[in-house]
Amino acid sequence: MNAFLRASCALFAALVVLPACAGVGESLARLQSEWEQIKYRQPTDKQETAFEALSKEAAAVRAENPDRAEVDIWYGIIVASHAGAKGGLGALSLVKEARSAFEQALAKNPNALDGSAYTSLGSLYYQVPGWPIGFGDKDKARELLTKALSINPRGIDSNYFMGDFLYRNGEYEKARLSLEAALQAPARPSRPLADEGRRKEIEALLVKVREKLK
């Protein structure tokens, strides 16, 4: 869930733009960097505690910037990551909190961060159990992920999550095409760690997909 930041007010490759955006851009860059370090560098058994602490930082940034969809998205990503690390039914309240954050982001600016709210929300809908346990919905997931791709057709995350969804849904050939498209996504110069980690996930999933296609 997720991975996903190119802020509208600051290009984190060191460009300086509107001064009014400098504060929130700096905060988002910090949250992004810490999230990447936890997800791709921390041992699995340390991630729950680390994501919980980071979610509190993200909540504070969100409280200071209630009108910014980008902040809602990153708060949702971090909370969803905390839920994933926590696991089990105890994570359901966290997943619902993340869903609410993504929905609020869409209400403010659906195109923020290249449509990342659609990608992130779609990923929740196919990974969360359906009724009566959770709100999971494959049709809703497909709709949201398709919308994300319409906004960012070459994105590494939008293609990866569509590929993962299709794999889990048994649509292996379509999954292969989406995952191969994800590997062809342009590099994000300000996010080498995220790109490296995501590519490893894509390559691992492609091995499973190709096994299914034999």
pLDDT in tens, 63-121: 999 999 999 999 999 999 999 999 988 899 999 999 999 999 999 999 999 999 999 99
Distance CA 62, CA 149 (A): 26
Helix (H, G, I), strand (E, B) or coil at 17: coil
pLDDT of residue 207: 98
pLDDT of residue 90: 85
pLDDT of residue 15: 23
- pLDDT tens across 162-203, in order? 999 999 999 999 999 999 999 999 999 989 999 999 999 999
pLDDT of residue 44: 95
Query: 39 falls in which pLDDT band (50, 70, 90)?
Result: very high
Average pLDDT, the chain: 90
Residue for token digits 């602490």?
A: 53
Kindly state the average pLDDT of the residues 149-168.
98
What are the residues whose beta carbons fall under 8 Å from the beta carbon of 102, sequence distance 6 or more? 72, 73, 76, 117, 120, 121, 124
Distance CA 108, CA 97 (A): 17
pLDDT of residue 1: 38
Percent of all residues in the chain with a pLDDT value above 70, rounded to a whole number: 90
pLDDT of residue 14: 25
Distance CA 157, CA 28 (A): 18
Kindly state the average pLDDT of the residues 1-22.
30
CATH topology of domain 19-213: 1.25.40
